[in-house]
Structure 1
Amino acid sequence: MQDRYLEPHQARRRPPTEWESLLGDSLERAFATGMHELAPIVEYLNRAGPPAPNGQAWTEVLLQAELARLAA
């Protein structure tokens, strides 16, 4: 029987951009500190970066829209 394994990038269509990698790293750090609610994560991103698209400050609506766009 062949071993089964998870391919962590199986849904990827392309490599992430530098900004996408920075966002992912920052989200991982937020989760590692125990943040799981949207409001504290938005506050964390506004402190730690990266900035939202076009250099805007993060909002809950903007983060939800950006994560939905990246997941599409």
Structure 2
Amino acid sequence: GSTPASGTKLVLQACDAASAAQHWGHQTGNIVNALTAHDCLDLTDGKAVAGTQLQIFGCGFFAGVDNTNQDW
């Protein structure tokens, strides 16, 4: 597993308990990637429509920004 970059699109894969990139936690209403601890599950371009692909993106709450793209 490599470290994901901000903007990396998510893909479904078979579970791998040894892959830190597949571990996520919930913090302050956001879903945070355990590998980086500062990247969140993000709704790409804020488009809440069917077919929009989710991405990894820097967590807004660390910068004091209320990013509704990351509220889950």
Structure with greater strand percent: 2
Q: Do they superpose with TM above 0.5?
A: no
Structure with greater helix percent: 1
Scaled to the shorter chain, the TM-score interval is under 0.3
Higher alpha-carbon Rg? 1
TM-score of the superposition, structure 2-length normalised? Answer: 0.24
